[in-house]
Amino acid sequence: MKPLEEKTSQLTEKEALSIYARMMHTLDSSEFESFLSEDFSYSSQKVLTDMNSKDEFIEYIRPKLETIKKTKSSVYAELGVCPAYGHTDCLIMAQGDKSNLLGVAYASVKEGKISGLSLCIVPTPDSAIRSGIYPGLNEVDPSLNEVNPDLNVKTEKVIITEEEFQRKKQQLLNLGKEETYQIGFSGYDEVQAYGMAFGLLGERETPKEDFYESTNFNNLESSLPSDTIKVATYVNKKYSTKKIYFYVCSFTESTQRANHQEVYSLFSIMWSRDSLWELNPWYCCSVLSEEPQAPLHKEAANWMFKGVATTGCLIASVDDFKNGTLEIIK
């Protein structure tokens, strides 16, 4: 018992990820459960609601693993490196086939326990450094009928050598230090940020016409600012069977808090009770950095969706929003 206690007290994030990977490969949650803190949190950028206790997660993961067993929908968790959100080590998640990458996972460790796990679609899994190491795949007992035999892989091809892996890891770590940014609240509310992004407020050479509703969806979508990207769709059948389409656009704003600030606006095109497609602002945020960043629309969108799910906004309460289905566009 003592060796286990010593290992637990020195648990690293990489070890925590390996334990999670073994669970997903063997479809046995007992080891992972034994390492969870009581206030363990589980979040996914594909799901708006987080789990905030060990018991809640266990109630979720056990039937999920049973479903994977029954459907034989193999899940793959590969150790890798992808610096983001204060983490370095990650798992690159795939399903059905190792090339079908779905996202990356990060683990948090506190006082020798796994305190959190986050499944992310941003950063993208193809941006991570892959190791070819799948913890647990070569440890599956072939005599266990309930384990998918396809997971019983005795040898795994290493995609890159250890030397190359460490070199690329250091390069990526250095890159992460050079290109840091912070997403947070802006000095605007959602309506002000929307107005600024659309050129309806502030000093603009040619302010845009306040075009916010139409019987023609395509006409409305074509009026959006040039940097706009579609980030998600949403349906709440309690109110309408028609999808709500979410978009993000941005504008640059000076600030004393950092050398550079980009303000992002989350807005939608939705079907109104007046039988018209209309534009509506939902949320906003700012990205502060010492140097101008590449467009961070999707990262900002994820932060803002979390905000809507946590505090609500002018157009939707937390309960209303959580009762619908959000589909993030990759």
Strand, coil or helix: 131:
coil
pLDDT band at 143 (very low <50, low <70, confident <90, very high): very low
- Report pLDDT for 213: 84
Q: What integer is the mean pLDDT of 95-106? A: 88
* CATH number corresponding to 2-178: 3.10.450.50
> Can you state the angle between helices 54-71 and 13-26, rounded to 10 degrees?
40
Percent of the chain with pLDDT over 70: 79
Q: What integer is the mean pLDDT of 52-72? A: 91
Return mean pLDDT, the chain.
81
Which residues are CB-contacts of 223 (< 8 A; sequence separation ≥ 6)?
Answer: 208, 211
- Report pLDDT for 125: 86
pLDDT band at 298 (very low <50, low <70, confident <90, very high): very high
Q: What integer is the mean pLDDT of 51-61? A: 93
In 3D space, the residue among 274, 277, 225 whose CA is nearest the CA of residue 247 turns out to be 225
Per-position b or e across 270-304, b if 16+ CB within 10 A of its CB: bbeeeeebebbbbbbbbbbbeeeeeebbbbbbbbb
- Report pLDDT for 9: 56
Q: What integer is the mean pLDDT of 214-237? A: 90
- Report pLDDT for 172: 58
Residue ranges per structural domain of the chain:
2-178, 181-328
Q: Is the pLDDT of residue 16 over 60?
A: yes
Cβ-contact 82, 90 below 8 angstroms: yes
pLDDT band at 23 (very low <50, low <70, confident <90, very high): very high
Q: Is the pLDDT of residue 230 over 70?
A: yes
Alpha-carbon dihedral 131, 132, 135, 140, rounded to 10 degrees: -170
Q: Is the whole model's pTM more than 0.85, yes or no? A: no
Q: What integer is the mean pLDDT of 258-281? A: 90
CA angle 194, 196, 197 (to 5 degrees): 65
pLDDT band at 205 (very low <50, low <70, confident <90, very high): very low
- Report pLDDT for 7: 45
